[in-house]
Amino acid sequence: MPYTARKHQLNLSLLYHIFNQGHNRGMIFHDDEDCQFFIHLLADYATIGKLSIYHWVLMPNHYHVVLELDEPTKISSLMAGIGRSYACYHHRKYHSAGTLWQGRFKSQPIQKELYLNACGRYIERNPVKAGVVGMAWDYLYSSAAYYALGKQDCLTVQSPLFDDFGETIESRRQKYQEFLLAFDSDKDTLFENVEFPRGSAEFKKRLLKENGRYFPRRKGRTRARVGYNGEES
């Protein structure tokens, strides 16, 4: 079963939008077996690392995940472990060698109450934008069907904002389908560049950038603080 994260100290708000792609945008998921391996790999690491994965999608040459975790400082080791494990599987199956991923994974801090829904929609609409399917919930390798149709999987943890879509589960699913269809291209651009945090000025002020990653600020720390536009100050 997916792990449901306990709330941590940054206003109960800090989530990460994770992205990585194949080296030179090459294929990383070639068939159903590859996708299923990676999905179960994520689920295993979610249990080990106490992650809650709210939205996700696997495309042939990249993936997106929105997750919450108890200890944000663990994110690098967890995602690196996932990347190494999948690379070993890929090289063994396809008799390949060398670099599979396009460098380190990208992680974008997002504020749960302001941007979780929009980021989830951006992620789940990837197959629609690519012309693979007409409806996001018809794509096999994403969380869209979990919310829009109630299709269970081994990975998705229900978003803490999903109940706001309606009073009954049927109305929530219907409203979520409408939400996916009524996409906002302006909001989509907020998640295309994962280098910048998305949240209120207060949320950004409480982030600290260390070794290229954003973490909650701790008392007594004096390193670079994130400015209102996402830049360090």
Query: CA 116, CA 184: separation in Å to the nearest integer?
Result: 14
Indicate the helix (H) or strand (E) that contains 188. helix 185-188
Q: Mean of the pLDDT values across residues 165-173?
A: 98
Sign of the CA dihedral running 201, 105, 130, 178: negative
Assigned token pair, 37:
């391996």
DSSP code of residue 162: G
Query: Among the listed ranges 97-101, 104-108, 228-232, which one has the minimum average pLDDT value?
Result: 228-232
Q: Mean of the pLDDT values across residues 84-105?
A: 95
pLDDT surpassing 70 at residue 225? no
| Per-chain mean pLDDT for the chain | 89
DSSP code of residue 8: -
The pLDDT value recorded for residue 10 is: 62
pLDDT band at 232 (very low <50, low <70, confident <90, very high): very low
pLDDT-above-70 percentage for the chain: 89
Query: CA 177, CA 162: separation in Å to the nearest integer?
Result: 12
pLDDT band at 186 (very low <50, low <70, confident <90, very high): confident
The CATH architecture of the domain made up of 14-216 is 2-Layer Sandwich (3.30)
The predicted model scores a pTM of: 0.88
Domain ranges of the chain: 14-216
pLDDT band at 220 (very low <50, low <70, confident <90, very high): low
pLDDT surpassing 50 at residue 108? yes
Choice between 227 and 114, residue whose per-residue pLDDT is larger: 114
Kindly report the length of the chain.
233
pLDDT surpassing 60 at residue 48? yes
Assigned token pair, 7:
């709330």
The pLDDT value recorded for residue 218 is: 73
The pLDDT value recorded for residue 230 is: 52
pLDDT band at 2 (very low <50, low <70, confident <90, very high): low
pLDDT surpassing 50 at residue 52? yes
